[in-house]
Amino acid sequence: MDSGSRIQTNQEGGYGLYQVQWDLDPPQQALYQPTDESPTLYFLSSPDYPMQQQRQQQQHRHQHLRQSTPRMTTEYEVASNPGDAVFSYTMFLAGCLATFLLYLLLPKGFRKQYFQAKRKRYARSDDRDMPAAGYWLPVKRQQQQQQQQPTSAESSRGSRSPARSHQLAHPVTPERTPRKNNDVPPSPEHPALHTLPPNKIIAETMARLQNRGIRLVAHGVHCNPKRVWIKLDDESTSVTWQTEFPRRVPNQSGKVSIVLMRGSLHRIALCNVLYIDVGKKTNALQKLPESVPAPCCFSLLTQNGSLDLQANSKLERDALVSCFSMILDDVHTEDWRAIYEATPEPSLVNSGAGDEGPTGKGTMVMNL
């Protein structure tokens, strides 16, 4: 203690009254200027008062540092304010969710280019047992029996080679019994199709045939190729076709607009269709240039002629052939596939599409 301090002691309880005017901090000394007339201030303290004074000075220094430096959240403060912590965490989750939703709203091309996003692919499911527009595909038992057949028989059925003339001398015995005595459901298989289209595509093609129809290109021996609409008529169990051609129609203002018109409706009974030919097998299709691909062509053969058609792609051609194969299985009482296999190459029938003359039963004539 300073030599100039005045101390008045009290021995009761081991405590004393200490004058603390020399222990004041400089800011407090500036506020407190003792004089001779001012009363003397005393504080009740223990003998370890110097330790308490040191602690107070450290607290003052810490408070000064907190005021001069940026405030930082400590674990003690977070624990003391749980409501603020929950609010901060909730806002963080909300921000992440908003960012993810904004990412989903971005265009696919932008996400693929800048975020390396890829299309999610699912495992393929075996849809062999699913219905295709009212027709059931063959059961797996029948498929296993067909797979057990010799490869030589499959090669002879899969491609119509020049050996078809040899098959005429030795006709192929039909493997299937008539439909009236056979409970096997209709099959989309065709001897010339090595791979069947997916069941989903066959179902969509069948639905288009039954509803609006499918636009194809028809070829004839004595006419140019024309666009036709092919459609199934369930009421009369027949297939109908109409030509489509543009026509200029003037409107009220005098301007001429082009409108697509349809010709007369032609009808072919499905029971008159002998079989389905795949590729350029008829006279009308064989006269086509090489620019017309053979995998896009097929024909519906009847007793009086053939309807030679060209699809937009090989996949569409295969789907149409599969649909007509199921329809013929449901209509015919005989095995039309055996007739197809026993027919020489090319098919010895005349194409009636575009031919001029009287229209008979099953004759296909394009009248515009």
pLDDT at position 90 is 92
pLDDT at residue 344 tops 90: no
pLDDT in tens, 297-315: 999 998 888 899 999 999 9
What type of residue is 330? D
Tell me whether residue 57 is in a domain. Answer: yes
Q: Are residues 43 and 153 in the same domain?
A: no
pLDDT at position 25 is 53
More confident residue, 264 or 33: 264
Tell me whether residue 109 is in a domain. Answer: no
pLDDT at position 114 is 80
Mean pLDDT of the chain: 70
Q: Are residues 180 and 325 in the same domain?
A: yes
Tell me whether residue 245 is in a domain. Answer: yes
Tell me whether residue 104 is in a domain. Answer: no
Using pLDDT thresholds of 50, 70 and 90, give the confidence band for residue 104: confident
Q: Are residues 138 and 256 in the same domain?
A: yes
Tell me whether residue 87 is in a domain. Answer: no
Q: Are residues 49 and 163 in the same domain?
A: no
Q: Are residues 58 and 142 in the same domain?
A: no
Lowest mean pLDDT among 16-30, 162-176, 303-317: 162-176
pTM of the predicted model as reported, rounded to 2 decimal places: 0.49
Using pLDDT thresholds of 50, 70 and 90, give the confidence band for residue 366: very low
CA 272 from centre of chain: 40
Q: Are residues 55 and 150 in the same domain?
A: no
CB 350 within 8 Å of CB 305: yes
Interacting residues of 355 by C-beta distance below 8 A, sequence separation 6+: 220, 221, 222, 223, 305, 363, 365
Q: Are residues 159 and 302 in the same domain?
A: yes
Domain around 238:
131-342
The CATH number for 277's domain is 2.30.29.30
pLDDT at position 173 is 36
Q: What mean pLDDT is predicted for residues 262-269?
A: 88
Strand-pair partners of 299: 277, 308
Q: Are residues 22 and 152 in the same domain?
A: no
pLDDT at position 35 is 52
Tell me whether residue 301 is in a domain. Answer: yes
Q: What mean pLDDT is predicted for residues 122-146?
A: 45
Tell me whether residue 352 is in a domain. Answer: no
Q: Are residues 44 and 138 in the same domain?
A: no
Alpha-helix runs per DSSP H in the chain: 26-31, 49-68, 75-80, 82-105, 108-114, 140-147, 151-158, 164-169, 199-210, 283-286, 314-331, 336-342
- Roughly how many angstroms between the first and final C-alpha of the chain, as a whole number? 128
Q: What mean pLDDT is predicted for residues 64-82?
A: 58
Tell me whether residue 91 is in a domain. Answer: no
Q: Are residues 59 and 149 in the same domain?
A: no
pLDDT in tens, 232-257: 988 888 899 999 888 888 888 878 88
Q: Are residues 304 and 163 in the same domain?
A: yes
Q: Are residues 32 and 151 in the same domain?
A: no
* Domain count along the chain: 2
pLDDT at position 120 is 62
